[in-house]
Amino acid sequence: MTRRDCCLCDDAKAVVVAAVEQGLCTWEAVNVDTDKALLVRYGMDVPVLVCEDKVLFKHRVTETELQDALLQIQNGEMA
């Protein structure tokens, strides 16, 4: 989940794009401001990285944190 003019969202996007380029995941940006339900749910809590309806990270994520989380998901270790 993202929104325009959000520095943290830009930072998270760079981390996610790096993971996509490494073939670790696919990605779709969803602007919370275009969906009232998402806006109510997440409000100012952006960026939010979600995988299979599970929130992985809010606000900040490093490349290492994202890679570790994706590996856990691939190995079935993340509930």
> The CATH number of the domain where 27 resides is what?
3.40.30
Q: Into how many domains does the chain fold?
A: 1
pLDDT in tens, 2-48: 999 999 999 999 999 999 999 999 999 999 999 999 999 999 999 99
Instruction: Classify residue 2: in a domain, yes or no.
Output: no
Partner residues linked to 50 by β-bridges: 55
31-36 long-range contacts (CB < 8 A, ≥24 apart) are 31/1, 31/2, 31/3, 31/4, 32/1, 32/2, 32/3, 33/3, 33/4
Instruction: Classify residue 79: in a domain, yes or no.
Output: no
60 neighbors 13 (Cβ within 8 angstroms): no
Q: Would the pTM of this model clear 0.95, i.e. be above it?
A: no
